[in-house]
Amino acid sequence: MKIIMLGAPGAGKGTQAKMIADRYGIPHISTGDIFRANIKNGTKLGKEAKGYMDQGLLVPDELTVKLLLDRVAQEDCSDGYVLDGFPRNIPQAEVLDRALADQGERIDYAVDVEVADRHIINRMSGRRACVGCGATYHIVNVPPKKEGICDVCGEALILREDDRPDTVTKRLAVYHEQTQPLIDYYKEKGILKSVDGTMPMEEVFDAITRILG
Ligand code: AMP
């Protein structure tokens, strides 16, 4: 099963993508996580991507598309995957569709996690990420056991540069302009499924599993 997660930054699509990956035994592929790992490791790609990410802008397609196509061509993706953060614009969606069609394949579902903008800013300002392993928390909704410390690896939790309120506002504008058109794109293909992302996390997941079967 090949699944795309859609939704504004902070809609909870990453959390849901991880839960889907666990439930269905398929890899969770987050282009944002791949870029952050590259930044942490000081790679050339990381250095190039960071400037865009810190400003809330999309990393250019030349850097993003090949990275994703290489990833989904790996052995562990043969039974499907859940994409979190890709595609982010129509050209990326078209390249992915063409690459899949060349192999007689296609995306099965595009799941849109719907959350209005007014909820997003609040959610994002409470988000904290581990500097060590990248695990994410929320100071109210998903707090760590010990304040400011990662449950998984014990390193410090920070407010990511791209989760700061002014950057979030920019990311939302980029989302509406470039990513939201994907909702109609997948609707026209007949594979769009929308869920209410303001429900508690477990209820959102139940709604998704009812769709995926
Ligand atoms: P995310 O963790 O998915 O919110 O991604 C964090 C940041 O990484 C985004 O704000 C973009 O700067 C960059 N990014 C992630 N995925 C993509 C993509 N498919 N295309 C372009 N930029 C991306």
Over the stretch 77-131, which tens digit does the pLDDT of each residue have?
A: 999 999 999 999 999 999 999 999 999 999 999 999 999 998 998 888 899 999 9
36 lines ligand 1 (CB under 6 A): no
88 lines ligand 1 (CB under 6 A): yes
Q: Catalytic: 160?
A: yes
Pocket test for ligand 1, best of 35, 95, 160 (most atoms within 8 A of CB): 35
Active-site residue among 36, 88, 123, 128?
88
Long-range contact list for 61-66, CB < 8 A, 24+ apart?
A: 61/89, 61/91, 61/92, 61/95, 64/31, 64/88, 64/92, 65/92, 65/95, 65/96
So what's the pLDDT on residue 162?
Answer: 84
So what's the pLDDT on residue 161?
Answer: 85
Q: Catalytic: 13?
A: yes
Confidence of residue 185 (pLDDT cuts 50, 70, 90): very high
Q: Catalytic: 98?
A: no
CA of 200 to the centre of ligand 1 (A): 25
Confidence of residue 186 (pLDDT cuts 50, 70, 90): very high
Nearest CA to ligand 1 atom 1: 32
Nearest CA to ligand 1 atom 12: 53
CA of 23 to the centre of ligand 1 (A): 24
- CA 34 to CA 81: how far, in whole Å? 15
What domains are there in the chain, each with its CATH number? Answer: 2-115+179-212 (3.40.50.300)
Nearest CA to ligand 1 atom 11: 58
Alpha helix (H) residue ranges in the chain? 13-24, 31-40, 44-54, 61-72, 90-102, 117-125, 165-174, 181-188, 201-212
Active-site residue among 2, 123, 128, 160?
160
What is the pTM (predicted TM-score) of this model?
0.90
Q: Catalytic: 127?
A: yes
